[in-house]
Amino acid sequence: MSERRVSLDYLNSIVYDLEKAFWDERGKGARFRVTTVGRDYFLNKCLPRIQQREIEPIIEVIQRVLKKDKLVAGVSHQWEDKLLRIQVRGCLHGPVEERLVAKGVEPFTCVPANLIVLAIEEVLDRPAELAEIRVEGEACNLLLVVFDARPTFE
């Protein structure tokens, strides 16, 4: 069986149409329905490589996986108390976000952010939430809120 290749422009146009339709249907509420987009990728590509139970090494693993698969040019971050500021540069899906912003749609989903949130929740058992996405040139600046560990009832 030969490998079929599809253009990135085509795939991003489909992602754009899906996101725009979801926004038209749910508005800002769409953000809370797409938090697990990327879960299979996370489970198959990222989680097996995470060896440490700290935020910094977790982000580094996810960045390496995303760069290896040529999905982003880079990921950097700053950690301040419960706020995790992440910058994603050269994302494969950047054109989708640019088109949404041009139509007046506030960006509401980000696969690299979802991967980081999924890792924090899965590995550290800490709730995390994507609070903001700002598209600025070739980068998306993300703000994640990382909450304290869930209480255990033993």
Cα 23 from Cα 82, distance rounded (Å): 28
Question: Is residue 115, in this structure, part of any structural domain at all?
Answer: yes
Question: Is residue 151, in this structure, part of any structural domain at all?
Answer: no
Question: Is residue 152, in this structure, part of any structural domain at all?
Answer: no
The domain tally of the chain equals 1
What Rg do the C-alpha atoms of the chain give, in angstroms? 16
**What mean pLDDT, rounded, does the chain reach?**
93
- CATH number at 117 reads 3.30.1380.20
- Give the pairing type, strands 139-146 and 128-136: antiparallel
Tokens read off for 74: 């880079």
Question: What is the reported pTM?
Answer: 0.91
Host domain of residue 57: 8-146
Question: Is residue 1, in this structure, part of any structural domain at all?
Answer: no
Question: Is residue 3, in this structure, part of any structural domain at all?
Answer: no
One-letter amino acid identity for 129?
Answer: E
Mean pLDDT of 19-36: 92
| Cβ pair 119, 50 in contact under 8 A | yes
Confidence class for position 154, pLDDT limits 50, 70, 90 = confident
Cβ count near 143 (within 10 Å): 15
Mean pLDDT of 96-100: 93
Question: Is residue 2, in this structure, part of any structural domain at all?
Answer: no
State yes or no: pLDDT of 3 exceeds 90: no
Helix (H, G, I), strand (E, B) or coil at 95: helix
Question: Is residue 18, in this structure, part of any structural domain at all?
Answer: yes
